[in-house]
């Protein structure tokens, strides 16, 4: 039975693709067949040149999926998906994303599926629905990528609360951009995220180092 996680973040450029790549590398090296999906990509017309390409480069063992399944919406204008879609003369339909996800499961039967969000949970997909509606629709848990630095408690707990408000299970948080020797501020950030978010820090990642500790990942993969 597949394990699926919606990898989202507390904002744009927080390191979702980097962490998704580390997770994909982690699972493939442990022998789990792994599919990676990006429901919406903007700023290009070929998803292989975007986030999916970066993940494939870091984790070449992931499954080779047809691009129309791996990335149902790839839109040229670099913006929130709703605006990029409007400029392309279309509207993002969550049913198309759900159909692609279901086909990946039925055709490829992966052990692990990672769906990478575009931006944070409140990024609009169209005039009615936001990114958080994807895991809510699919009934899958989320992993949140958060920054280690000042301000992360607020951003992370708000993200957790919005997902839970939509009945999305938050499996935990991966803290990115961790320094090799975190000081009192960052150590306290992690403690307060767990306390006020009522969640678990699954792992810590050092930006650009390829480092991902796995203390909290061992019980979910």
- The residue from 38, 54, 96, 105 that is catalytic is 38
Indicate if 38 belongs to the active site. Answer: yes
Helix H or strand E encompassing 74: strand 73-75
pLDDT at 218: 83
Q: What average pLDDT does the chain have?
A: 95
pLDDT reading at 104 higher than 70: yes
Please report which confidence band the pLDDT of residue 211 belongs to, taking 50, 70 and 90 as the band edges: confident
Report pTM.
Answer: 0.95
pLDDT reading at 210 higher than 80: no
pLDDT at 1: 60
pLDDT reading at 109 higher than 90: yes
pLDDT at 221: 83
pLDDT reading at 43 higher than 80: yes
């Amino acid at each position: 039975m597949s394990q699926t996680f919606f990898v989202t973040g507390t904002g744009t450029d927080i390191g979702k693709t980097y962490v998704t790549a580390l997770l994909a590398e982690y699972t493939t090296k442990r022998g789990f067949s792994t599919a990676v999906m990006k429901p919406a990509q903007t700023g290009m017309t070929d998803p292989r040149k975007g986030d999916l390409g970066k993940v494939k480069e870091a984790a070449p063992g992931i499954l080779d999926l047809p691009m129309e399944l791996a990335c149902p919406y790839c839109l040229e204008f670099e913006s929130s998906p709703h605006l990029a879609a409007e400029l392309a003369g279309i509207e993002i339909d969550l049913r198309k994303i759900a159909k692609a996800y279901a086909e990946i499961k039925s055709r490829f039967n992966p052990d692990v599926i990672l769906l990478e969000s575009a931006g944070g949970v409140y990024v609009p997909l169209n005039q009615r629905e936001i990114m958080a509606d994807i895991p809510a629709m699919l009934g899958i848990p989320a992993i949140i990528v958060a920054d280690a630095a000042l301000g992360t408690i607020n951003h992370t707990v708000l993200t957790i609360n919005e997902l839970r408000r939509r009945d999305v299970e938050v499996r935990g948080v991966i803290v990115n951009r961790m320094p090799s020797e975190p000081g009192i501020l960052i150590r306290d950030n992690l403690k307060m995220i767990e306390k006020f978010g009522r969640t678990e820090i699954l792992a810590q990642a050092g930006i650009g180092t390829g480092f991902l500790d796995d203390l909290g990942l061992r019980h979910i993969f």
